[in-house]
Amino acid sequence: MTGWHIEVDDHVCIGSGMCAALAPERFALDGSTATVVRDAADAPEDEVLLDVADSCPSSAITVTDGASGEVVGPRP
- Supply the CATH number for residue 13's domain: 3.30.70.20
| Helix (H/G/I), strand (E/B), else coil: 5 | strand
Number of domains in the chain: 1
Query: Is the pLDDT score of 71 beyond 60?
Result: yes
Q: What global pTM score does this model have?
A: 0.84
Residues in the chain: 76
Whole-number average pLDDT of the chain = 84
Cβ–Cβ < 8 Å for 38, 46: no
| Helix (H/G/I), strand (E/B), else coil: 43 | strand
What is the reported pLDDT for 5? 85
Parent domain of 22: 4-73
Burial class (CB in 10 A: 0-12, 13-18, 19+), 16: middle
